Amino acid sequence: MSREQQAVQRARSSFQTGRTKPLEFRIQQLKKLLLFVTERRSNIADAVKKDLAKSENGTELFEVMGLEGEILLALENLSQWAAPRPVEKNLLTVADEVFIQPEPLGVVLIIGAWNYPWAVTLQPLVGAIAAGNAAVMKPSEVSCHSARAMEELLPQYLDQDLYPVVTGGVPETQELLKQRFDHIFYTGNNTVGRLVMGAAALHLTPVTLEMGGKSPCYIDRNSDLPVACRRITWGKFTNCGQTCIAPDYILCEPSIQGRVVEEISRSIREFYTDDPKTCEDYGRIINQRHFKRVMALMEGSTVAVGGQSDESQCYIAPTVLTGVTGASTVMREEIFGPLLPVVTVSGVDEAVRFINQREKPLVVYVFSSDSQLIRRMVADTSSGALLANDCLVHFTVSALPFGGVGHSGMGCYHGRHTFERLSHLRSCLVKQLRMEGLNGVRYPPHTDRKLSWARLLLLKQVDVGRLQRLLAVAVLGGLAAFVWRRFLRRR
Ligand code: NAD
């Protein structure tokens, strides 16, 4: 039996003991995960530094903090998320218990990507544990230092049978994908997304696919350009452009293109100095394959800012490209690197057309002082998320479902959404054995009279909460009338 098969089997038999069902167990594991994140900060930062040349504080801000927030949120709300949820009833079930009971799915496979190697692997794990599942984690082999650290350190904190880390590359992932899971949570590109979905289909396993795409960023002429460009510069060049929700390209009118380029250039200097290569807060491309891929995307465009590179360090300077059209090389695929092309359009109408002619992106960004124009973008485009007047920060709002649509992904997570995604929402109805007379309306013979009663009983929804409130008002009213008659009226 292969190592991958063994890990899945152990997780399944452990899950089948029912150990993950009590909330106390899930809370204990979440607390251990929190302990791991806080005690092992420096191991995490070291690994990310080796993988992506990210600074320690950068890792804290972009990987660890979000993870801590998700764990704390789950710890605080788990009892409420996992509790039975009473629902509206019809007259036929008014005296019965009718509720939704979230229950664990079983064994979840989490396949992570390399760009935020800890966040994209462990954030889904938070929801998997909270929902009472076992989870097999497969970190990306591309961020090999993080994968090794995860494999070595995480089992020192979490239950080893229920939450194993399996490392390896394509063959190992494919071996895992042959196994039967109850959910597959994949983060990565959509070529592999198709393979994952195909493998899942053989077992009828549901999937969440967190993918990317080309997220457009429309800058309206009527906006605060220095602020807009500073925020775009941050969103684009963080992690050297290797962020799924980074603005991929800018759309703006030709009349503001010059100022946009100038302001972005100014912000690059403000954030990363005149020499980003020596700046601690500017990272590197993950490997030579991606370095070559990103460099080749510049072909045919004009370098307006940056453009310098050093293959030996996988360094590409923050770069702005002009002279770009929809047909340029850089517009053919998700850039996933520090190149920011500017495509000119005649105005918002053309921007909307440009966006809608392409696959649905993970995010549509719009910068404008005109709230009507922003509402127009909300109404006339479609994407995983829409963010106006900023970049990336919607990721930090746990209440917002994070995920794509169409080619940018399916399913969503973060906060309660991860719990919901990795739970089965089971419908439960516990009927009274009394009141059999009422049930006569559904038993044969199906007379006209019974049918009209059935219509009333089945189609009338009852809001039990409202009914209880009305009852309370009636009781209070009766009590007030009694007090009035008995004690006050005589005086
Ligand atoms: P990657 O190369 O690390 O691949 C992701 C995972 O797929 C890895 O664990 C890898 O082992 C596995 N894999 C690769 N090839 C495979 C194959 N042939 N068969 C089976 N498994 C295979 O990461 P990537 O795809 O380069 O990641 C970048 C992409 O991920 C970008 O498109 C980015 O936008 C997207 N992304 C999305 C999110 C999100 O939350 N939506 C987050 C991060 C990255």
What tens digit of pLDDT does each residue of 146-202 get?
999 999 999 999 999 999 999 999 999 999 999 999 999 999 999 999 999 999 999
Probe residue for ligand 1, chosen from 110, 151, 187, 405 as the CB with the greatest number of ligand atoms within 8 Å: 187
Query: Is 210 a known active-site residue?
Result: yes
Probe residue for ligand 1, chosen from 123, 140, 215 as the CB with the greatest number of ligand atoms within 8 Å: 140
pLDDT class of 483 with cuts at 50, 70, 90 = confident
Which ligand 1 atom is the nearest neighbour of the CA of 190? 32
pLDDT class of 488 with cuts at 50, 70, 90 = confident
Give the number of C-alpha atoms closer than 13 A to the C-alpha of residue 294, restricted to the C-beta side. Answer: 31
Q: Cα(186) to centroid of ligand 1, in Å?
A: 8
Residue 491 has pLDDT above 60, yes or no: no
| Residue of the CA atom closest to atom 3 of ligand 1 | 113
pLDDT class of 12 with cuts at 50, 70, 90 = very high
Q: Cα(449) to centroid of ligand 1, in Å?
A: 62
Q: Cα(336) to centroid of ligand 1, in Å?
A: 12
Query: Is 244 a known active-site residue?
Result: yes
What phi and psi, each to the nearest 5 degrees, are found at residue 82? -90, -5
Query: pLDDT tens, 349-408?
Result: 999 999 999 999 999 999 999 999 999 999 999 999 999 999 999 999 999 999 999 999
Which ligand 1 atom is the nearest neighbour of the CA of 245? 34
Q: Which domains does the chain have, with CATH numbers?
A: 3-211+414-425 (3.40.605.10), 216-401 (3.40.309.10)
pLDDT class of 490 with cuts at 50, 70, 90 = low
| Residue of the CA atom closest to atom 28 of ligand 1 | 188
Q: What percent of the chain has pLDDT over 70?
A: 99
pLDDT at 478: 82
Ligand 1 site: residues with CB under 6 angstroms?
111-115, 120, 138, 140-142, 169-170, 173-174, 187-189, 192, 195, 210-212, 244, 334, 336, 362, 404, 409
Query: pLDDT tens, 425-434?
Result: 999 999 999 9
| Residue of the CA atom closest to atom 8 of ligand 1 | 140
| Residue of the CA atom closest to atom 24 of ligand 1 | 188
Is the four-CA dihedral 230, 236, 239, 243 of positive or negative sign? positive
Q: Cα(128) to centroid of ligand 1, in Å?
A: 20
Q: Cα(288) to centroid of ligand 1, in Å?
A: 17
Residue 489 has pLDDT above 90, yes or no: no
pLDDT at 469: 78
pLDDT class of 245 with cuts at 50, 70, 90 = very high
Residue 203 has pLDDT above 80, yes or no: yes
Asked if residues 209 and 411 have their Cβ atoms less than 8 Å apart, the reply is: yes
Which ligand 1 atom is the nearest neighbour of the CA of 116? 43
Supply the mean pLDDT for the chain.
96
Which ligand 1 atom is the nearest neighbour of the CA of 212? 34
Which ligand 1 atom is the nearest neighbour of the CA of 111? 9
Active-site pick, 229, 244, 252, 412: 244
- Residues with Cβ within 8 Å of 203's Cβ and at least 6 positions away in sequence, in order, are 180, 181
| Residue of the CA atom closest to atom 37 of ligand 1 | 211
Q: Order the strands of the 423-430 sheet from edge to edge.
A: 85-86, 97-104, 423-430
Average pLDDT over residues 271-298: 97
The better pLDDT of the pair 437, 199 is held by 199
Least confident of 35-39, 117-121, 185-189, 440-444: 440-444
Q: What percent of the chain has pLDDT over 90?
A: 89
pLDDT class of 475 with cuts at 50, 70, 90 = confident
pLDDT at 456: 86
Residue 465 has pLDDT above 90, yes or no: no
Which ligand 1 atom is the nearest neighbour of the CA of 402? 40
Residue 331 has pLDDT above 80, yes or no: yes
Residue 132 has pLDDT above 70, yes or no: yes
